[in-house]
A = this chain, B = another copy of it.
Amino acid sequence: MDEVFNVIDNLFKTEEGDLNILGKGIKIIIIFILIKLLIRVSYAVIDKVSDKRKKRLFSIDDKKINTLTTILKNIIKYILYFIGVIMVLDIFNVNTTSLIATAGIGGLAIGFGAQSLVKDVITGFFILFEDQFAIGDYVKIGDYEGVVEEVGVRVTKLRDFSGELHIIPNSNIDIVTNKTRGSMRALVRISVTYEEDLDRTIKVLERVCKQVKESNENIVDGPTILGITDLTDYGVVLTVIARTKPMEQWAVERELRKRIKEAFLRENIEIAYPRRVIYDKKVEG
């Protein structure tokens, strides 16, 4: 490029040692051709790399790789355009101090504002790249949870069970809790009185567990009786847990609750209601 520019400098020099308009025009054209070429080349390189990746990593779906390559291409394109514009301005000896003053103040202001934009993109990239969650997963991000509806470069959208749509800028995503990676736990707590025969209660619960296991195909493991998980001031808390397919834990819990309630009613096992010991003192009203 330098060689070519030197030749142009010599051909179109004015007597003041500056370049005349024709020379400048030619230079600009050359710059833009170069920029375009560089964009093409980098696009080709990215495509080749992504193709190789696709063959190697079957697990990551094609769409995700396409998203990543599109982002990359865009970033490279804008950087190269930006370099081109500055080189052209350089040719025209544009009063750069005024430009820099403008850019400085503006850049500073925008820098602060764009800061979270950059963080959005970087976090978005890592979510995709590390496969933290995918569309359809049920995740919890901060105080918000729901089914992932969109994983974008700037925002992630969660559809809450209540139907609400949470639009979360990626820079607000910190710790992610993914509830669709592996089996989930269904947990039911039931408290019986201190007077109740524990061994009989456990036998009844075991029978319920066996029934649920047989009838419900969403259960991966269990249900089993964990044991006495608390001694409250009015009863004994028994806990039953099971491993279920993801997103099915709530349904399994509801079924367990229904069956336990009915078995207890049938078997006359007393549920523990809050208790009070009352000391009566008569007073003259």
Inter-subunit contact A227/B243 (CB<8 Å): no
Inter-subunit contact A231/B92 (CB<8 Å): no
A61 in contact (CB, < 8 A): no
Inter-subunit contact A189/B90 (CB<8 Å): no
User: Which residues does chain B contribute within 8 Å of A160, judged by CB atoms?
Assistant: 177
A98 in contact (CB, < 8 A): yes
| A116–B113 CA distance with the chains assembled, in angstroms | 8
Q: What is the minimal beta-carbon distance from A140 to any residue of chain B, in angstroms?
A: 8
Inter-subunit contact A87/B79 (CB<8 Å): no
Inter-subunit contact A165/B177 (CB<8 Å): yes
| A35–B190 CA distance with the chains assembled, in angstroms | 68
Q: Which of A82, A87, A228 has the most CB of B within 10 A?
A: A228
> Chain B: which residue is nearest A6 at the CB level?
B16
Binds B, one of A44-52, A191-199, A211-219: A191-199
User: Which residues does chain B contribute within 8 Å of A69, judged by CB atoms?
Assistant: none
Inter-subunit contact B275/A274 (CB<8 Å): yes
Inter-subunit contact B144/A164 (CB<8 Å): no
A73 in contact (CB, < 8 A): no
Once A79-B106, A231-B189 are accepted as A-B contacts, the answer to whether A167 and B176 lie under 8 Å apart by CB is yes
User: Which residues does chain B contribute within 8 Å of A191, judged by CB atoms?
Assistant: 233
| A277–B285 CA distance with the chains assembled, in angstroms | 10
| Selected contact of A109 from candidates B115, B140, B165, B280, CB within 8 Å | B115
A251 in contact (CB, < 8 A): yes
Number of copies: 7
| A61–B21 CA distance with the chains assembled, in angstroms | 44
State the interface size on chain A (CB cutoff 8 A): 116
User: Which residues does chain B contribute within 8 Å of A111, judged by CB atoms?
Assistant: 105, 108-109
Inter-subunit contact B198/A261 (CB<8 Å): yes
Cβ contacts A219-252/B at 8 Å (1 or 0 each): 0000000111111011010000001001001010
User: Which residues does chain B contribute within 8 Å of A136, judged by CB atoms?
Assistant: none
| Selected contact of A229 from candidates B126, B184, B254, CB within 8 Å | B254
Q: What is the minimal beta-carbon distance from A149 to any residue of chain B, in angstroms?
A: 9
| Selected contact of A177 from candidates B167, B177, B181, B249, CB within 8 Å | B167
| Selected contact of A21 from candidates B3, B86, B283, CB within 8 Å | B3
Inter-subunit contact A130/B109 (CB<8 Å): no
A132 in contact (CB, < 8 A): yes
A99 in contact (CB, < 8 A): yes
Inter-subunit contact B277/A281 (CB<8 Å): yes
Once A107-B105, A261-B228 are accepted as A-B contacts, the answer to whether A167 and B163 lie under 8 Å apart by CB is no
User: Which residues does chain B contribute within 8 Å of A79, judged by CB atoms?
Assistant: 102, 106
Q: What is the minimal beta-carbon distance from A33 to any residue of chain B, in angstroms?
A: 16
| Selected contact of A273 from candidates B175, B265, B275, CB within 8 Å | B275
